[in-house]
Structure 1
Amino acid sequence: MKRNYIFIVILLFCVIKTSAQIKGEVTVIKDPSIDSLILKRIAITKKTTTPVVPAKKPGTTLVDQYGFRVQIFYGSDRREIFNQQAKFKSLYPKYNAYISFKSPNYYLRVGDFRTRQEAQNFLNELRPKFPTLFIFREKINAPNLD
């Protein structure tokens, strides 16, 4: 019986010793053309991301910065979104209204505000007339500086 205990202890010692983690070295083997492809991709990306400023025509605006818009309505009924846009334009003719569609809903967002505070002030003004209002950060049309 004593012999079995000695055998079990030796067996456990061997198992523990073989399962210990040994620090190793990782060797990465890759094709050298991968590096050249990565460098080409970086070069292409740098060429296409340089900002191109188109000539500005009088009376037009450029989408060139992020700002805020107030969402005043969303729904799946196309007629209703156009009715809400007409209602808004009759109340606030100097603000732009933008309709976008992401299946299955239409979204009506208004204004081109540079700061969140401007959008919040306008949202507070709209609250009695439109029930569901949210502020979104997105690309806006730069306002005319007249």
Structure 2
Amino acid sequence: MNNTASTYKALIAKVAGCCVFFMLIALGASAQRGRVEVVKDARVDTLINRWDELNKIGGIRGSNYGYRVQIFTGSNRKDAYKAQNRFQDMHPDMRTYISYRDPNFKVHAGDFRTKLEAQKMLEELKPYFSGMFVIPGKINPPKLETGND
């Protein structure tokens, strides 16, 4: 019996020694440090700088986020189109958007870059529409006016 106990002790000592050995190897492997070299075309930096310049002045992309005024919410499609037509009669140059998410139709008006612009439109429309509020989100950029000066 004593012989069996010493055999188990020897086996445990070997297993423990192997575990320590493998842990040291794992730690050594994870502690290795290397050097990464990035090879890229110089034109990439030029494009990135140009893109930043255009965005600073509101060039090509501008901002895609802004505000719209929600002028209608309801479950009746005809009422949604009536609200859209009534708004279009007052502001024919401004875009409107109808969306449907079960069970409601929503009519949003305008593509405003700032919340202040949307708030001014909301105040102007208060006598004509009820339950309006300003919605932040993705907008379509306004059309650029091109002149042949």
* Shorter-chain TM-score above 0.5: yes
Q: Matched residues in 2 for 1:64 and 1:103: separation?
A: 30
Which 4+ stretches in 1 moved above 3 angstroms?
Answer: none
Deviation at 1:132, TM superposition (A): 1.3
Structure 2 residues not aligned, in runs of 5+: 1-60
Q: Matched residues in 2 for 1:99 and 1:122: separation?
A: 18
Task: Give the structure with the larger helix fraction.
Answer: 2
Q: Matched residues in 1 for 2:131 and 2:62: separation?
A: 26
Report which of the two structures shows the higher radius of gyration computed on alpha carbons.
2
TM-score normalised by L of structure 1: 0.55
Q: Matched residues in 2 for 1:81 and 1:115: separation?
A: 25
On the 8 A contact 1:64/1:141 being kept in 2, the answer is no
Q: 2:92 corresponds to which residue?
A: 93
1:144 and 2:143 correspond: yes
Which residue identity is paired with 1:73? F
**1:101-140 pair list within 5 angstroms:** 101-140=100-139
Higher RCO, Cα 8 Å, sep 6+? 1
On the 8 A contact 1:96/1:110 being kept in 2, the answer is yes
Deviation at 1:94, TM superposition (A): 1.0
**1:61-76 pair list within 5 angstroms:** 65-76=64-75
TM-score normalised by L of structure 2: 0.54
Question: How much identity, in percent, do the aligned residues show?
Answer: 44
Deviation at 1:63, TM superposition (A): 10
Which residue identity is paired with 1:109? H
Structure 1 residues not aligned, in runs of 5+: 1-61
Deviation at 1:145, TM superposition (A): 2.3
Q: 1:42 corresponds to which residue?
A: none
